[in-house]
Amino acid sequence: MTLEVVRADSPGKAAEMLSTDSGARFVGGGTIVVRNVTSGDVGIRRLVLSDGLGLDQIRVNGGRAKIGAAVTMARIAAHPALSSLAHVAREIGGPAVRAMATVGGNLFAAAPYGDLAVALLALDAEVAVEGARDKETVALEKFLSTRWHYATSIVKSVSFTLPAEGAFRFAKVMRRHPHGASVLSIAALLPLSDGKVKSARVAYGAMAPTAMRAKAVEQALEGATLDEATIAKAAAVAAEGTAPASDPFASDWYRRNVLPVHLARLLKG
């Protein structure tokens, strides 16, 4: 069994290689896909390298951020204009993983991984995608719910509006500190208008196969002051719509039961 390593000179060419060969995989930082190869996934016959595709830029302009799919967690953590995401990026793996793990790869990571995707979902990010024949910009929520559809496309970047100071919160619950996988993660965008929450977005990681929105919690928070009564109301519906898995990090039962506690802590700030 041979493994071919190839380079594409554009995202479109890379997408073409993926769509014409079911054994081809695109490589971001390789922390997942190369591990799959070395652990014996014989379905992978060709690795399409991503260097040189120009997907490694970070642009911040007029309150919007655009992060290229090849940008690593280490670069996000160090970027002065991305301070709202810095602690999310710092909680992903150890230093060696963060130096390689990319934004694009995180969008495809299966639960309990995909912590950055959770934060980006709460921030209502858009994803720019290029296939062999078309280009598209799609809401991350739609991208995550139809991820299989993008298996032969290349993610080029994610874009989102930077949150106002103090409006964005993220918590990752781990059993093995400091670099364990998520028991669960929670990201919340909590904009305030006249002291009341307006258009909250709350997202979970490891509570479903991909990052998911906590719509019942968002509804409980809408138009309310963030006081004890509101937080209790939100915590009471925290597990609605969740479908966590059992894995070596936690059982589905444990995840469901600790979720309201951690949500309440996050909302209390």
Ligand X SMILES: Cc1cc2nc3c(=O)[nH]c(=O)nc-3n(C[C@H](O)[C@H](O)[C@H](O)COP(=O)(O)OP(=O)(O)OC[C@H]3O[C@@H](n4cnc5c(N)ncnc54)[C@H](O)[C@@H]3O)c2cc1C
Give the range of 56-64, 95-103, 208-216, 243-251 binding ligand X by CB under 6 A: 95-103
Q: Which stretch binds ligand X (CB under 6 A): 58-66, 81-89, 105-113, 211-219?
A: 105-113
Give the residue among 158, 154, 109 at the shortest CA–CA distance from 129: 154
159: contact with ligand X by CB under 6 A: no
In this structure, is the dihedral angle defined by the CA atoms of residues 205, 206, 210 and 213, taken in order, positive or negative?
negative
Task: Write the interaction track for ligand X spanning residues 64-83; mark x where CB under 6 A is met and - where it is not.
Answer: -----x--------------
CA distances from 112 to 49, 92, 170, 255 (A): 25, 11, 16, 11
Q: Is 168 in the site for ligand X (CB under 6 A)?
A: no
Stretch that binds ligand X, among 23-31, 79-87, 208-216, 234-242 (CB under 6 A): 23-31
Q: Which of 134, 123, 138 is nearest to 65 (CA)?
A: 123
Beta carbon of residue 174, minimum distance to ligand X (angstroms, whole number): 8
Helices (H) and strands (E) in the chain, counts: 11, 14
Q: How far is the CB of 101 from ligand X (least distance, A)?
A: 3
131 touches ligand X by CB under 6 A: no
Residue 238 touching ligand X (CB under 6 A): no
Give pairs for 230-234: CB < 8 Å, separation 24+: 230/197, 230/267, 231/264, 231/267, 231/268, 232/264, 234/263, 234/264, 234/267
Which of 8, 31, 120, 122 touches ligand X (CB under 6 A)?
31
Closer by beta carbon to ligand X, 150 or else 168:
150
CB contact at 8 A, 49 and 27? yes
Tokens matching residue 86: 């810095």
By beta carbon distance, the residue nearest ligand X is 105
Bridge partners, residue 6, by sequence: 48
**Helix/strand/coil for 170:** strand
Q: Is 101 an interacting residue with respect to ligand X (CB under 6 A)?
A: yes
* Binding segment (CB under 6 A) for ligand X, from list 21-29, 161-169, 186-194, 241-249: 21-29
Q: Does 210 bind ligand X (CB under 6 A)?
A: no
Q: Which of 10, 22, 35, 63 binds ligand X (CB under 6 A)?
A: 35
- What backbone torsions phi and psi does residue 204 show, to the nearest 5 degrees? -120, 150
- Interacting residues toward ligand X by CB under 6 A: 25-33, 35, 69, 92-93, 97, 100-102, 104-106, 108-109, 113-115, 154-155, 181
